[in-house]
Each structure stands twice: as C-alpha cells, then as structure tokens.
Amino acid sequence: MRGASAYISRQAPLKVNQSVLSQATPDNVHVRVSLPKQRAYLMVGEEIAADSPISSGKAGHSTPSGHFSVLEKDPDHRSSIYGDFVDSSGRVVRAGISSKADSAPSGTHYVGAPMRWFMRLTGEGVGMHVGILPGYPASHGCIRMPSDGAKLFYDTVRIGTKVDVGDY
C-alpha cells in the first residue's frame, strides 16, 4: 500500500447520513456491497447510513458474491499472502510478492501488506479493509475502502453482522 495516502480516488467520496447512522444498533445494521457500482453501503434497516467507494477483486481474483457475516475484526491486520520481503534492517528487498509463489531472497523475511480496519468475510481471507481505490476492481478479492469508510464500517459492525455482496 505504499503511496496509498497520496493516491486520490476517482470515485465519489464517502457519504454519511448522520441522522440514519445515529439510529444504528448491533441488531439493525447490515452491509450491502454493489460490485457493479463499486460502492459499499452501511445500512440501518433499509436506509443508507453510509455510502463508500470500494475496489473489489480484479479478473482472476474476483470478490465472491453472496451472503456473508463478519467473522473477525482486526484493526491492524496484515496479509498472510501478499506483501514484501525485507532485510534485517527493515529495508524492502522485493516488493509486491505472493508468499505462495515467490521465494524469499537470502537474509530476508516476509512482511504482510497492511490491511487496516480488517473485517473478515470468508475463511479463505476475503474481507473489507483500507486500500487503494483506483475506481475499478483491482484487489486480490478483498473489498478495499478509503480509510474513513473502513473505520466507520469497522466501528459500526460487529462479529456476526450480515454482509451481502453482489449486483445491487
């Protein structure tokens, strides 16, 4: 995610309806993710409390559609598959690697890519988290969100919150 903070999304920013959000409870909140619109909606009943841009999975790494629940929440999660090989002083030796496909150069170790405000949706590791938003599907399957959107969703949902992903 190097450079992500300087990256400007081409999508409409996070929109929050405070009057709807103020009515949120653990029992009336759910999430709807529109893959065609590249948007995630924090719902209170059938009203939109927050509308956030996303970037879902690219070709070959598509985001699964269906009905999910938040399985885990981790504010400082790191990927177990994608990241960098770094040396003992913390210098990146090889960036953007897959721990499943790439071998570590001698004297390096793997450091997973940061996935701040992670909300796991599948046992295979797909979740919602902070990430780069180029305006189109670009992830390895996760649902990337802007920092403010991911934090708001993270703070509002709980483990067990329903998440519907599809053609909404």
* pLDDT tens-digit readout, 35-46: 999 999 999 999
CATH number of the structural domain spanning residue 125: 2.40.440.10
| Sign, Cα dihedral of 94, 8, 148, 132 | negative
Number of structural domains in the chain: 1
pLDDT at 10: 62
Range of the domain at 40: 4-166
Residue 45, φ and ψ in degrees, nearest 5? 65, -125
pLDDT at 3: 42
The tokens for 95 are 């960036």
pLDDT digits (tens, 9 = 90+) for 38-74: 999 999 999 999 999 999 999 999 999 999 999 999 9
Alpha-helical regions (H) of 45-146: none
**Residues 145, 54: contact at Cβ < 8 Å?**
yes
Residues 37 and 60: their CA atoms lie apart, in Å, by 19
Calculate mean pLDDT across residues 125-148.
96
Alpha-helical regions (H) of 22-140: none
